Amino acid sequence: MTKIVFMGTPDFAVPSLQALHAAFGVAAVVTVPDKPQGRGLKVVPSAVKQAAIDLGITNIQQPAKLRDPDFIHWLTDLRPDIICVIAFRILPRDVYQAARLGSFNVHASLLPKFRGAAPINHAIINGETVTGVTSFLLNDVVDTGTILRQITFDIPDGMTAGELYDALKPLAAECAVATCRDLTDGTAVPQPQDDALACPAPTVFRETSVIDWDRMAHDVRNFIHGHSPVPGAWTIWNGEPLKIFRVRLAPYTCERGMFRIVDGSFVVGCADGALEIEELQLPGKRRMLVSDVVRGYRGPQEGSFS
């Protein structure tokens, strides 16, 4: 029986844990410590820990530091055959070398494209039409290990980062199971990455999510969708930040950075055309459809974003 240790944190990793447990039986799960969340600061487990509990997995470790000697001792005593890592931390060498057959990560891009913490966001921002998931053997340099498997995904026009995130979950699970089978059967054929084709995908922050209306409409759309829903692309409207989550190319004319309300539509101009805003969030309000906002809007019918 293959002894698999699964390491992960968010809901993106949950389908992979479930699929691996169904296919092989996961021996142990490693995730982050429980953390206080919400207004009441209630201490809650990670999505992966909760899924492990629901699956009946009792060997769950939550080290504050992966270099903790007690954790390393636990892992080496367990003698795992495979360590599968999805949306977790950077593993020290002592950790990833503990697996007899290998330790691998499933990354949400077609490596070597979009190495880094936010491959899904950058695939949308960059206007990619195809992306996917990649499993690769871990080494000392993040996202550079030899490739084991890849599964491609065609990105529908207008898809947001949040929608792509959900679409790649089952593909990551499929990739994880297939990779474990390859390693177990001895049929894995690792292929080196071509570093010349690599491009970075750093974390996206609120500070770097400001919309530049001077860019081409298609690029602005991709930028907005690539930051949707988190952290949310934003602009300044009436002196306050306005988050925009979804737009579409619009057959209207409007000066760049200027907005107009036309026939119930909220239109804003870019360098070469206009966008119609479909979903937004006003300060202190929930995310709303623009049709609901415009229905009760009594302010200026045109103006500027800054």
Task: Give the pLDDT score at 211.
Answer: 98
Q: Is the pLDDT of residue 96 over 90?
A: yes
Q: Is the pLDDT of residue 115 over 90?
A: yes
pLDDT per position as a tens digit, 38-82: 888 889 999 999 999 999 999 999 999 999 999 999 999 999 999
Per the prediction, the chain carries an average pLDDT of: 96
154 contacts 130 by C-beta, under 8 angstroms: yes
CATH fold of 4-197, please?
Answer: Rossmann fold (3.40.50)
Residue 300 phi/psi, 5-degree rounding, is -60, 140
Contacting residues for 141 by C-beta, under 8 A, at least 6 apart? none
pTM: 0.95
The Cα 223–Cα 209 span in angstroms is 8
> Which tokens is 152 given?
């491609």
Distances (CA, A) of 79 to 19, 177, 181: 22, 20, 18
Cα 199–Cα 124–Cα 147 angle in degrees, nearest 5: 45
Distances (CA, A) of 140 to 92, 95, 103, 306: 8, 11, 12, 43
Q: Give the up-direction half-sphere exposure of residue 231: CA atoms within 13 A in the CB hemisphere.
A: 13
Architecture, CATH, for domain 206-304: Roll (3.10)
Task: Give the pLDDT score at 38.
Answer: 80
Which pLDDT band, with edges at 50, 70 and 90, does 242 fall under? very high
Task: Give the pLDDT score at 299.
Answer: 77
Q: Is the pLDDT of residue 292 over 90?
A: no
Which whole number is the average pLDDT over 198-204? Answer: 97
* Nearest Cα residue to 11 out of 87, 66, 81: 87
Which whole number is the average pLDDT over 232-260? Answer: 93
Residue spans in the chain of domains classed CATH 3.40.50.170: 4-197
The Cα 114–Cα 161 span in angstroms is 14
Residue spans in the chain of domains classed CATH 3.10.25.10: 206-304
Task: Give the pLDDT score at 276.
Answer: 96
Which pLDDT band, with edges at 50, 70 and 90, does 179 fall under? very high
Which whole number is the average pLDDT over 285-304? Answer: 86
Task: Give the pLDDT score at 296.
Answer: 76
Task: Give the pLDDT score at 76.
Answer: 98
More confident residue, 162 or 291: 162
> Which tokens is 207 given?
């500070």
Helix (H) or strand (E) holding 238: none
> Which tokens is 178 given?
């297939």
